[in-house]
Structure 1
Amino acid sequence: MRLANVDLNLLVTLQALLRERSVTRAAARLGVSQPAVSAALGRLRRHFDDELLTRVGNSYVLTPLAAQLVERTDLAVTNVRQVFSAQPHFDPAVSEREFVVAMSDYSLTMLGDALSGLVEERAPGVRLHIQQLVSADVNHAAEALRTLDAMVLPHGFLRDLPCLDLYTDDWVCLVSADNERVGEKLTPDLLAELSWVFTFHRPTAYTPADWKMRALGIEPNVRVVAEWFVALPLLVRGTDRIALIQRGLVDRLDGMDGLRVLECPFEPDPLVMALWWHPMNSHDPAHRWLRGMVAEAAERVG
């Protein structure tokens, strides 16, 4: 197939049809007439030799081929936009570009306020889209970073990708103030006896402190798993549970009444937080500006 023979306008229509699964909704999304989208769907069906959308009752469903095309189409549209939005210079004062950065709720708590404030101040037309960092992004970071501008993640998970160190944090233990099993200090034996609240608990989703604890022979009794760090106080308060939490997050969270923060009875490796991106963005002037904004926000963390 020769790319020169393909109408790239069909790519945007294909994305809308795959996402909306309706000619009417796709037309509304694109801001064009329904007959125009119907005609484009006909061209797409001839190109792929596939119906793409088939009626089941009162709605349409994707064919197996169309289901395969959803993520590929999103990636293709993103890449095309990046190609045609590239400029030799970036002027944040007049730009209307959108930057998509993936963060955990912890990173958002630490950086979000400063970063959003800086972007609004320096680039009033720029949109900052902060989305939840999920395990799939980390497991397939090189692919995810083709559509994300960057992700904030500690060292220890990714390699062979460019990054910028932001700040360092460490771990402490969180227990309820009325937990009578815990005295003034924690011991390794007590860590093995107590019930734990973990953030992430899968082979490819864990925190460095979790790994260090197991490496020391401490096997935690995990009773609750939550994929939000800011939920830890709610899940520990008034129980016999214990959790590992970042010291910086403790300093920024409200609602810490009824809780005690104790030093770990082992030395967890510190968190070295970093901004990661795809090499294709390394020399993009707009992306360099974004990295500068994140770095400046990180300077305010301390």
Structure 2
Amino acid sequence: MFPVNRPRRLRQNDPIRRMVRENVLTANDLIYPLFAVPGSSIAQEVKSMPGVYQLSIDKIVEEAKEVRDLGIPAIILFGIPADKDTDATGAWHDCGIVQKAATAVKEAVPDLVIVADTCLCEYTDHGHCGYLETGDLTGRVLNDPTLELLKKTAVSQAKAGADIIAPSGMMDGFVQAIREGLDEAGFTDTPILSYAAKYSSAYYGPFRDAADSAPQFGDRRTYQMDPANGMEALKEVALDIAEGADMLMVKPALAYMDIIWRVKEMTQLPVAAYNVSGEYSMVKAAALNGWVDEQRVVLETLTGFKRAGADLILTYHAKDAVRWMQS
């Protein structure tokens, strides 16, 4: 009589395993991040992120075409401006680097979805995500004045061709402010993908090399979330839903799969997970040293995000992942 149940019956060969597989990763799940810089014919590899580049707009367009040809439906654009100032002018100016990149990509690859990261840290001379109180060296950002900058930035990005606005600064009320700005400007159909649960994480280190956005003093713990908190993430998500968010993001992903799961359980909105720079670079470093099988680790990790409840995954592995899946 023993054993009555034999789960191994459904694992005995690949066709059966594929038939009963609960979660399937596809190209449609992925969003590929790109970093735009001024100039032409520029492809500068980020030292701490092998295989990731700062790209001039002509190179961004080439990458966008490759992404489209691989079947990946979307990119997210980050910008590194030529000049920075206290008003984050490069974030909201019509000739800002993200705006110019969005327009160029939309003209060359109109069927590719463009997500615009809507934040100010890459554009301020102090590296924080908004206005600072005069003389404050702790990194405490003035919330409400910053909302006006975010509103201007979102509208300028939508005008330039961005299909989705993704505010990432974790300001109180930022979704409502941006929704009002977009609607007033006639962009009522432009969705908002809110970085609803964005933690103050050590996993962002390589990104700050890529985007040249490290704070010049202090840190971002006055506005990004404490990694120890879970209920707070659900509160932030609930507020963003009430303010009109169309999609929600959890960032980072790898150490926060419990948060992805809890957010997915509480809402019927699409949930995105950001497989951030530190997560990417750790795998790359281990693979380059021969310590792990990069392909298997990446696909297992991305599938894990799906299993945790992510509908979308922002990842620097996107192109490689699709090629591996196709092969």
TM-score range, shorter chain: under 0.3
Q: Which has the larger radius of gyration?
A: 1
Q: TM-score, normalised by structure 1?
A: 0.26
Q: TM-score, normalising length from structure 2?
A: 0.24
Q: Which has the higher contact order (CA 8 A, sep 6+)?
A: 1
- Judging by fraction of residues, say which structure has more strand: 1
